[in-house]
Amino acid sequence: MATRHSAAGARARRSTFLPFSPPSITEAEVEAVVDTLRSDWITTGPKTRRFEQAFADYLGAESALGLNSCTAGLHLALATLEIGPGDEVITTPMTFCSSVNVIEHVRATPVLADIDPHTLTLDPARVAEAITPRTKAIMPVHYAGHPADMAPILEMAREHGLYVIEDAAHALPAAYEGQMVGAIGDFTAFSFYATKNLTTAEGGMLTGSPEHIERARVLGLHGMNRDAWKRYTAEGSWYYEVVAPGFKYNMTDIQAAIGLVQLERLEAMQARRRQVVEQYQAAFSQLEALEVPAERANVDHAWHLYVLRLNLDRLKVDRSRFIEELKEWNIGTSVHFIPIHLHPYYAEKYGWQPEDFPVAYHEYQRVLSLPLNASLSDEDVQDVIRAVVDVAENAS
């Protein structure tokens, strides 16, 4: 059993607030941005193409498209596959709203399936129950960086003629049965938001077959049949045609410049994340009031989030109070996520009740995400551990 820290609590508390997940930016990223600003291209251009190719090569994906967000990638995947009114897309309630908003944007119907209680990812058994003749796609979300159970999902997709669109906002670099996430489904969308394992401040990437990606490329830049940056190069042409009513989703070379450096640093940053996770697992697995995250043997977890679960039947406080007490220790936290069916828009439109997806609802009430990023020092990690142990033991 971990040692109690309450007696020395006041002396051990941090003097400064530890943010939940700041970006890891070095001088190399700064220099790359400056180099881009001094070049002829700051919007979509040669560095974006380099980043797309390097990213695809890293994952073993066929092709990749740089975008301004993961949300854009999910939207383009649905639009490229011509999923729309009358179609259903099965996904998880345990995700950020953008995963489901994009289904609404194409005027399809989101169908929720409950989650696996161990990994908090989409439960294939619940997916099987949700398939109807109107189902066109399954959208698994690789929650916290742990890949969803893809084998049965892919088998169901083959059996019913469905597309698989992976929300991999958390899942770089994750792998499932030796295959990198990004080279598995029909489309995979990644996020490079400021908190992610690889960041471009804002940004994202969509991977898939060359045919699908080229169609998405057209839709992602106004529906034009030529890239804007090529029109202004020596080998380009002023002439273009709009072949579809597209969107404005392109990545800039400023973002790509950051991404290229971050991709080179990714393995080192991941190694540090795993070191932090190992310390957390060792400390928190000793406490009966806490449940540590799972990592199944057939996956490589990306560890975007460290999601601790409170065994509320062994605590005198709820999750909100637990978080407030950690804040008193100057430790930042977050909650991932408020399930989709609890949000007013979706609850009212589809008539969903909290207990309609009991696993997601139950787990939501006891999850909290602890600081996890490549910039954490050993002292930071020990501050988090001291705080969590103290709060958990005093509340037990």
pLDDT (tens digit, 9 = 90+) per residue, 141-180? 999 999 999 999 999 999 999 999 999 999 999 999 999 9
pLDDT beyond 90 at 267: yes
| pLDDT tens-place string over residues 98-143 | 999 999 999 999 999 999 999 999 999 999 999 999 999 999 999 9
Residue 10 lies in a domain: no
Any domain includes 3:
no
Name the DSSP letter for residue 193. -
Q: Domain for residue 11, yes or no?
A: no
CA 338/CA 42 separation, integer angstroms = 37
Paired tokens of 26? 């070095």
Average of per-residue pLDDT across 291-316: 98
Structure tokens at 95: 């995700």
Q: Is 395 exposed, middle or buried (0-12, 13-18, 19+ CB in 10 A)?
A: middle
Q: For the whole model, what pTM was predicted? A: 0.95
The two beta strands, 187-191 and 204-208, are antiparallel
Rounded mean pLDDT of 31-35? 98
Q: Give the Å distances, CA to CA, from 220 to 28, 73, 223, 327.
A: 29, 9, 7, 41
Q: In the annotation, is 196 catalytic?
A: yes
Q: For residue 6, is it within any domain?
A: no
Q: Which of 373, 371, 382 is nearest to 282 (CA)?
A: 382
Asked whether residue 206 falls in the same domain as residue 106, the answer is yes
257 and 207 part of one domain: yes
Domain count within the chain:
2
What integer is the mean pLDDT of 291-302?
98
Alpha-carbon gap, residue 39 to 31, rounded angstroms: 12
Q: Confidence class of residue 4 from pLDDT cuts 50, 70 and 90?
A: very low
| pLDDT of 235 higher than 80 | no
CA triplet 24, 30, 32: central angle to 5 degrees? 115
pLDDT at 22 over 60: yes
> Domain of 86: which CATH number?
3.40.640.10
Residue bearing the bigger pLDDT, 241 or 217: 217
Note the pLDDT tens digit of each residue in 319-357.
999 999 999 999 999 999 999 999 999 999 999 999 999
Annotated active-site residue in 136, 196, 316, 327: 196
- Any residues with CB less than 8 A from the CB of 95 and at least 6 apart, and which? 141, 143, 167, 337, 340
The domain boundary residue, chosen from 208, 238, 263? 263
Range of the domain at 347: 266-395
208 with 83, same domain: the answer is yes
pLDDT of residue 231: 67
254 shares its domain with 323 = no
pLDDT tens digit string along 367-377?
999 999 999 99
State the average pLDDT over residues 82-95.
Answer: 98
pLDDT of residue 12: 72
Whether the bond into 187 is cis, omega within 30 of 0: no
pLDDT of residue 238: 78
β-pairing verdict for 306-310 and 367-370:
antiparallel
pLDDT at 10 over 60: no
- Chosen domain end from 220, 237, 263: 263
- pLDDT at res. 271: 98
